[in-house]
Amino acid sequence: MNITHYMPCKKPRRSTRLEFKEKEAVKEKSVQSSPLGFFDMFPVELKLMFLKYLSVEDLSNLTITSKVFRNLVEGFLTIHPILKKDIVDRIHIQSKYLPMPAIKHTDYIQLFGRLGLLIKRSTCLYSTKDRLKFINEVLTKLLCCNYTEHCEDLSMCLAMSCFGKFLHTVIAGWDDCECVRAYEAICSHTCLMKNVKLVLMSKSGSHQRLEFEIRCFFRRVFLDPCSSIQDKAFWMTRILKPWPLVYQARLIFLIYGPVLEDEILWFELSENTPAVNSVQSSQHMGGLANALQILHHYKQEWSEDDVVSIIDEMTSSPEEWLAENMAHLLILCGDVITSKLLISKAINGRMMELSSLITSFCLVCVKNSLNLDYVIAMIRHVLRVIDSAKDRQIFSCSITDMFKELIIDIHEFEEGQGNDMFYMVTSMAEFTKKIMMLAFKEP
């Protein structure tokens, strides 16, 4: 029998303590079963408001905690776009008189790295096609031509360097074929190929601004942010491979050749010898030599012959380089590439070019206080591939004849100009000393 049946109050008396305990238990159960725990008790508006107070880094960490948080962050990013106007303004335009300090450049580039990581994590469930669409949306917002204010001075604009860092962070760890898709998507989005074709098919220097824009785009977006040589070789190959050899050589010069402000100095190395010492030589030709070395090491897509042909083409177009500049470039490229190029000239019977290069090696070594053993080693490589004794003799004599020709030329045409005569005579003297020491080494 239930005694409560006879009581005036039907409701059984319960302790408030027990009621509270019961409520707590229900709450705890619901908190435990909901994916965001206590956070789920807030309405969605409040949840999104909380996210506003988090840094990009915290948001990015939140996306990898759970799928629900990832969805929440994704929703947050659609309402609050990651590119704020003040950031875009700051990276496009900088005062000439008060340039942004280098440390600030790094800060902005690092910020885009963090944004890239956030996007990489929040879009991890998307297909490559959708992720590429997202990357292109960011690119559209950052392109100088889409910027509402004027962004005249490309050399001071940071936008593409920031995008480069963003891109490389998003695609880090992607398969090569996916990276190729990324390259193609960006090229077609920006009509890059059309512009490159126009520049390559026109006379060098006839589209000065466009040439510089292409250089900056390739360097800042694809090449400079690379973290390893292998990575750089991959992207350089993507840029060069669609074109025939003549254009490949031209593109390398366009991307890494010497520049003055926003002009690519196509004829500088055919008219002057700008590199007096090793610091200047690396300023003018260091980038080119480095690019050639990178291709040379990327054996899966470039043979030694390809690299030699590119050097041959690059140093004879749009005009033949001065032999001293070519010698300088080869010294920077290293012994393996140099000996390969000399051997190919020897096999093709290009004796005049060879002797001109050998004398220039002597000159560069003297100017930079380097040992002439390098030159002797290169001569030995060449002699090894010349079959007939007579041809070997002709080659040896052509070197000293070349010295004679050059000294007479300087004497006749450039009397009193700089130290050319001094350096040339010293080169010949040093070379002769080296040969004499080798010849009379035995007692």
Q: Which of residues 167 and 292 has its CB atom nearest to Zn ion in the complex?
A: 167
Q: Which of residues 135 and 151 has its CB atom nearest to Zn ion in the complex?
A: 151
Q: Which of residues 144 and 331 has its CB atom nearest to Zn ion in the complex?
A: 144
Nearest to 235 by CA among 194, 282, 176: 176
Q: Of 149-157, 248-256, 279-287, 404-412, which segment contacts Zn ion by CB under 5 A?
A: 149-157
**Dihedral over Cα of 75, 79, 83, 84: its sign:** negative
Q: Does 158 bind Zn ion (CB under 5 A)?
A: no
> What are 23's two structure tokens?
């409520």
Q: Does 151 bind Zn ion (CB under 5 A)?
A: yes
Q: Of 11-19, 57-65, 157-165, 335-343, which segment contacts Zn ion by CB under 5 A?
A: 157-165
What Rg value do the Cα atoms of the chain yield, rounded?
33
Least Å from the CB of residue 412 to Zn ion = 51
Please count the residues of this chain forming the interface with Zn ion, following the rule CB under 5 A: 5
Nearest to 406 by CA among 315, 289, 317, 273: 273
Q: Which of residues 73 and 88 has its CB atom nearest to Zn ion in the complex?
A: 88
- The set of residues, in sequence order, having a beta carbon less than 8 Å from that of 350 and lying 6+ positions away, is none
* Of positions 159, 308, 358, 366, contacts Zn ion by CB under 5 A: 159
Nearest to 117 by CA among 78, 71, 62: 62
Least Å from the CB of residue 156 to Zn ion = 8
Residues 80-109 as x/- pattern, contact with Zn ion by CB under 5 A: ------------x-----------------
User: Do the Cβ atoms of 82 and 52 come closer than 8 Å?
Assistant: no
Least Å from the CB of residue 158 to Zn ion = 8
The Cα–Cα gap between 192 and 206 comes to: 17
Q: Which of residues 217 and 266 has its CB atom nearest to Zn ion in the complex?
A: 217
Q: Which of residues 9 and 145 has its CB atom nearest to Zn ion in the complex?
A: 145
Q: Angle 278-297/245-256 helices, nearest 10 degrees? A: 140
Residues 296-325 as x/- pattern, contact with Zn ion by CB under 5 A: ------------------------------
Least Å from the CB of residue 186 to Zn ion = 17
Least Å from the CB of residue 102 to Zn ion = 18
User: Do the Cβ atoms of 77 and 60 come closer than 8 Å?
Assistant: no
User: Do the Cβ atoms of 270 and 284 come closer than 8 Å?
Assistant: no
Length, in residues, of the chain: 443
- The pair phi, psi for residue 56, each rounded to 5°, is -60, -40
Q: Which of residues 161 and 248 has its CB atom nearest to Zn ion in the complex?
A: 161
For the segment 219-258, give every residue that binds Zn ion (CB under 5 A): none
Q: Does 139 bind Zn ion (CB under 5 A)?
A: no
The Cα–Cα gap between 376 and 384 comes to: 12
Pairing outcome for strands 263-264 and 259-260: antiparallel
Least Å from the CB of residue 169 to Zn ion = 20
Q: What angle do CA 99, 225, 265 make, to 5 degrees?
A: 65
The Cα–Cα gap between 106 and 350 comes to: 49
Q: Which of residues 121 and 215 has its CB atom nearest to Zn ion in the complex?
A: 215
Q: Which of residues 109 and 159 has its CB atom nearest to Zn ion in the complex?
A: 159
Least Å from the CB of residue 161 to Zn ion = 10
Q: Does 157 bind Zn ion (CB under 5 A)?
A: yes
In the complex, the residues that contact Zn ion under the rule CB under 5 A are 92, 144, 151, 157, 159
